[in-house]
Amino acid sequence: TLAEARARGGAVLESPEYLDLSIVEAGLLCAKGNMAQGLDRLSALATQARAAHGPQSIQLERLYDWIGSCLSEAGDATAHAWVYDAYDIAAARERPPSTHLMASAMNAFDRALGARDFDAAERYYQLAVANAQAIPEQSIRDRRTQGLRNGRVVQLMQRGEAAAAVEAAQPMLQYYNEVYAKHGRLTPAQGSIWIATADALRQLGRYDEAIQVADTFGERCRELKRIAPGAECEPRALAMRALVELDAGRMEAAQDTMRTLRERYPDSGRAGRDGRDGRLREANVRLLIASGGAAEAAEAVELMREAYGMWLSVQPDSVYAAESLYWFGRAYQAAGDRRGDWMVKQAREQLAKS
């Protein structure tokens, strides 16, 4: 253990193995919620790794990845930049194509997606695809890049390329349907592609197809929950279905869907940085605004005040902040407050530039 290694002292404390274990220990502090302590320890280890192993060492690369993860947990808007730097360290050391560079680029791609950094996401997607050529067997390469191809669908949807997103999703959804037919249950890491596909279909106005995709995911989530009670992905599917119904002008259906969600998952949150609870919050706010009641409008204002305040604190210039400002303004308009007019106008201008 690390405690035993510290007790032994001497050369043990200068070994790469001891540094590797110390990195994991510090990273786990962040995972347990001790952000400040974890970041302080990781920063100190980064200084140590750079001095002992150089600026292109794998230890420094791992530390940058851990710092990015820790900052992300803390809601820091700079988290993705550390993961980008980790890729640069690997690229300075490795000769492409390599599976290590592929994995590092995929990690940076995921972070770029979360930050809606579209240019960086495209760069790291292309780098991951290029480095995946280090795997000669197509079947193995496809298996190792499933997450990347799922993320591509999310990326295209986020950029507003809905038709391309739906096209990119088809082979992946077919594969997941085959996996479901074989195993009879939802397998990990599928949520993003089902929700992104439904969202892309919603953007295209293909509402019935969007509902079908959301419902398929929701049904499989419900079946999975019977096997693994801690698995709760159905709220994402129900929230997406409600948004589709709202876009389609099916107000009563959307109200029924949200009622079902609250009955099955009464503890489902209304706020979140990762966009999952954000869809639930948007559906709630849109229903409250559409109801036309003063009390409902006031509730919508408070929901969006919390959401917009959170985004201002972590990513004030992001698309997420602009979207929150838009619905904040719409809520104010519903409450009869003229401040909503300039908020909606400003949000539309910001979104038009994104």
Query: What is the tens place of the pLDDT at every residue in 97-117?
Result: 999 999 999 999 999 998 888
* Average pLDDT per block of 10 residues along the chain, 354 residues long: 60 70 88 90 92 92 93 84 96 96 97 88 97 96 95 92 96 94 89 94 96 96 88 90 94 92 78 55 88 90 89 79 92 94 94 82
Handedness of CA 78, 306, 308, 290 (dihedral sign): positive
Residue 204's pLDDT is 95
- If we measure between CA atoms, which residue out of 149, 148, 142 comes closest to residue 108? 148
Distance, CA of 308 to chain centre: 18
Nearest 10 degrees: Cα torsion 114, 120, 121, 126: -160
The pLDDT score that the predictor gives to residue 269 is: 56
Contacts 24+ apart (CB under 8 A), 346-354: 347/322, 347/323, 350/319, 350/321, 350/322, 350/325, 351/319, 351/322, 351/323, 351/326, 354/116, 354/319, 354/322
Q: Under a CB-based contact definition with an 8 Å cutoff, are residues 239 and 280 in contact? A: yes
Q: Which distant-in-sequence residues (6+ apart) come within 8 Å of 106 by Cβ?
A: 124, 128, 145, 147, 148, 151
Which residues have CB under 8 Å from 132's CB, separation 6+? Answer: 97, 99, 102, 141, 144, 145, 148
User: pLDDT digit string (tens) for 200-238?
Assistant: 999 999 999 999 999 999 999 999 988 888 888 999 999
